[in-house]
Chain A
Amino acid sequence: EPPTVSHGQLLFVHEIVARGAAANNLSVRVTGCLRGVDRASCRASLLDPRVAGHSIVVDISQLIDQNLRDDELVQIIGELSIVSGGATVQLLRARTLRNVDGLDLDIFMKAVKAKEAFEQDLAS
C-alpha cells in the first residue's frame, strides 16, 4: 500500500512561527513543552523549549486517549494549518505524540544540524 502521509519535517516552534502562512499544510515534527491541555476543546499550546515567547496551538483530538500533562517535553508529528479568525492562528493537527522528557536539547540541536548537513551532502 502506498504511503498515505508525508514524513514530518523537523522544525522548531520559533521556526514555524517565523514561517507564518507559508507553513500551511506542512507535515512537521516539532519538539516543545505542552501547556494548557484542555480535553473539552481538544486544544493545547506547544511552547518552544529554547526560544521564549514562541508557541503554537495544537489540536489534540487524535491524542485524547493519551496521558497528557502540562510542562512535559514532547515531540509531535502532524500537519500545520492556518486558521483565520480575528487573528491568523497556526494550528498543528497532531497525529502522534511521544514524551521526550530528559532529552538533552543541546545534543539534539547538534544532531539535527548534522542530519541536515548529511541530507544536503546526499542531495548534492
Chain B
Amino acid sequence: FLAYAKVLVSQVLALEEATDDGAELCICWLGARAVQKVEICGVVIEAFRREKRLQLRLDDSTGVVLCVWWDTSFASHQVGRAAAERCAPPLGASMHVQGQLSKFGGEMQIRVENAWMEMDPLAESLHWVEARRLWHHVYKRAFRHPGLARGTRAAHEASTTTVPPSLSRSGAAVAADTSAAG
C-alpha cells in the first residue's frame, strides 16, 4: 500500500477512487489492490513554474498526466534542506516520477515525491514491460498474507491425520473457505 505501483499513465487516468470523502489525496483501486502512490516514466511535454511549485506534464504514449512538484516536498533523505525553487527540466527529457495520487478539478494528478531524469533510451520501454508484468502477477490478484497460506496448509494436513474431531472439522472449514475465496 505504501510502495509506488509501477503503472502506465492510461492506468492512472482510469483509476477509480476507493473512498468518496472528497479528499484531495486519493486512495484508488488498481485491479484488486488499493494504492495511493504510483511510479510512471514518460517524456516531459510541458514544464512551467507556478507559485511555490513546478508543474510538469508527462507523456508516456498512453496518456498525458499532470505532475505537481511542490518546492517544500522532500524525500526522507533530504529532510533538513531549505526549500528551493526547482528548475524545469528540458522539454523532451525522459523522467521517472514517483508520487501520491491526487485529484484536483476532476483531473487525476500526481503529487511528486521523487523525480529523476532518465538517460537510458530503453528505460521507458522497460517500465512499460514491468508495469504489464506487475499488473498480471500482482495488482490484479487479491492480496494473500503468506501466514494465512501456511496456516491453511497446516490445517489441511492436520485434518488428514489422527486428530480430535473438532480440530479436523475446523481445519477442513478453513481450507474450504480459502479455496472458495480464491
CA distance A75 to B59 in the complex (A): 13
From DSSP, what is the main secondary structure of chain B's interface residues?
A: mixed
Q: Which residues of B have CB within 8 Å of A7?
A: 9, 59-64
Q: Name A104's closest neighbour in chain B (CB-CB).
A: B122
Total inter-chain residue pairs, C-beta < 8 Å: 88
Q: Are B59 and A119 in contact (CB under 8 A)?
A: no
Which B residues, 118 to 148, have Cβ-Cβ distances below 8 Å to chain A? 121-122, 125-126, 128-129, 131-132, 135
Which B residues, 1 to 26, have Cβ-Cβ distances below 8 Å to chain A? 8-11, 14
A37 within 8 A of B: no
Q: Are B11 and A122 in contact (CB under 8 A)?
A: yes
Q: Which residues of B have CB within 8 Å of A122?
A: 10-11, 14, 135
Which A residues, 72 to 108, have Cβ-Cβ distances below 8 Å to chain B? 75, 77, 95-98, 100-104, 107-108
CA distance A9 to B63 in the complex (A): 9
Q: Mark A2-30, 1 if CB is under 8 A from B, else 0.
A: 11111111100000000000000000010
Q: Which residues of A have CB within 8 Å of B126?
A: 111
A64 within 8 A of B: no
CA distance A2 to B128 in the complex (A): 25
Q: Which of A2, A9, A10, A98 contacts B94 (CB 8 A)?
A: A98
Q: Say how far B166's CB is from chain A's closest CB, in angstroms.
A: 46
Q: Which of A1, A75, A118 contacts B128 (CB 8 A)?
A: A118
Q: Mark B48-68, 1 if CB is under 8 A from A, else 0.
A: 000000010101111110100
| Interface residues in A, total, Cβ within 8 A | 34
Known contacts A2-B107, A96-B44, A118-B135; A111/B125 CB under 8 A? yes
CA distance A9 to B14 in the complex (A): 18
Q: Are A98 and B43 in contact (CB under 8 A)?
A: yes
B83 within 8 A of A: no
Q: Are A114 and B128 in contact (CB under 8 A)?
A: yes
Q: Say how far A37's CB is from chain B's closest CB, in angstroms.
A: 16
* Chain B residues at the A interface, C-beta cutoff of 8 Å: 8-11, 14, 43-46, 55, 57, 59-64, 66, 91-94, 105, 107, 121-122, 125-126, 128-129, 131-132, 135
* Chain A residues at the B interface, C-beta cutoff of 8 Å: 1-10, 29, 66, 75, 77, 95-98, 100-104, 107-108, 111-112, 114-115, 117-119, 121-122
Known: A29-B43, A66-B92. 20 other contacts (CB 8 A): A1-B55, A2-B105, A3-B66, A5-B45, A7-B62, A7-B64, A8-B61, A77-B43, A96-B91, A97-B92, A98-B93, A103-B121, A111-B129, A115-B8, A115-B61, A115-B125, A115-B128, A119-B10, A121-B135, A122-B11
- Closest 9 A-B residue pairs measured CB to CB? A111-B125, A96-B92, A100-B121, A103-B121, A118-B132, A115-B128, A98-B92, A10-B61, A96-B91
